[in-house]
Amino acid sequence: MVLGVSGGIAAYKSCELLRRFTESGHDVTVVPTAAALEFVGAPTWAALSGKPVATDVWSGVHEVPHVRIGQSADLVVVAPATADVLAKAAHGLADDLLTNTLLTARCPVVFAPAMHTEMWEHPATRANVATLRSRGAVVIEPAEGRLTGEDTGKGRLPDPVEIFETCREVLTRAASGSGPGTADLTGRRVVVSAGGTREYLDPVRFLGNRSSGLQGYALARAAAARGADVVLVAANVALPDPAGIKVVKVETTEQLRHEVLAAAASADAVVMAAAPADFRPVTTSGTKIKKAADGSAPSLELAQNPDILAELSAERPRPGTVVVGFAAETGDDSGSVLDLARGKLARKGCDLLVVNDVSGGAVFGSPENEAVIIGADGSCVEVPRGSKSALAHVIWDEVSPRLPTR
């Protein structure tokens, strides 16, 4: 693996990224620019990677480093990637070891930009980013927050933990045989919902469910690693925001519905991995409901919440949008898990339905999952137990060929 570091103040954060790579067993060669060494010195990179560090093409010439490093890499990640490095990479310039490495690499390449908002939003930078993405590179959207000095805005380096997760997704994609340059969702806008909604009885109590949001977050990360512009609508999820993804936080089913429908208006695909509450209280108490002195319990009248998946499927805010639903089933006297799921697929009208057997509470909060993906066209794909990330990629494998042509 090659970790390229360009000359921005966020270079110090890449020390944490390097530590995560090495501790997870990766062999990392750090290639900083000369400007990067003004922020973090070569001894630091050498100590953390266990390898010598060079910035120019003249060190160790007999080993032809400007060609060899890129040729032998399984992944190149540039973090932080300044506007200067993005411009050089887009235009094929090669005036130091990092830019030469980018030209010779035939593996997946990930850029994690960090710069002031005005630089990120400049038409030249936007055009360079579009060029890199069109060639299959993954350019992570920068985060919003405090920048250098008193400035705030979009341009902050995403959390190193989340950059690491994105890189792991890209490596997983490459290892599956898809190979580099196959960012099949580049230029696509997708919406993913995650978590479980809450319907409040009073200021401290609510009706909810056990959804952790892990599968939805895995879907969002996988889509971003495949080049998509991702909006993640998260309902009551206690997970860090994935790198480069717009996260919209909601609580109730109605809030989830509003945000998903708004985002879906410009989406190529919507994956409803969230678990909306089916019912809500007809009335909500403004104060905590107290226990009755006589030991009696209050009665609770419920109303049915809107069916977001059915609404999306029926109205299709954008023609050709692929709609994916999830079904958590246990099976009963009326039919097996798959029987019930096929009935749900027909009622909801979505294109794909991801079916989980949740008997005994399986799946919820677990890092692993197994599922059957059934399609309105009669297709059926069984996904054996594995990571939720692996299932996410299989789901996108099914979505991708169904997307409308551009």
Residues with a catalytic annotation lie at 209
Whether a cis peptide bond, with omega within 30° of 0, leads into 80 is yes
- Bridge partner residues of 32 (DSSP): 5
Look-up of token digits 């390449």: 109
- Bridge partner residues of 352 (DSSP): 324, 375
Other C-beta atoms lying within 10 Å of the C-beta of residue 320: 11
Look-up of token digits 């003249």: 58
CA dist., res. 75 & res. 96, Å (int): 19
Query: Which contiguous run of DSSP H or E holds residue 124?
Result: helix 123-134
Amino acid at 332: D
Secondary structure (DSSP) of 129-141: HHHHHHTT-EEPP
Rounding to the nearest 10 degrees, give the CA dihedral for residues 336, 348, 193, 390: 50
CA dist., res. 366 & res. 368, Å (int): 5
Spatial neighbors of 143 by CB under 8 A, at least 6 apart, are 154, 156, 157, 158, 159, 241, 243, 244
Structure tokens at 15: 């020390």
Judging by DSSP bridges, how do beta strands 269-272 and 322-329 pair with one another? parallel
Q: What angle do CA 276, 168, 50 make, to 5 degrees?
A: 145
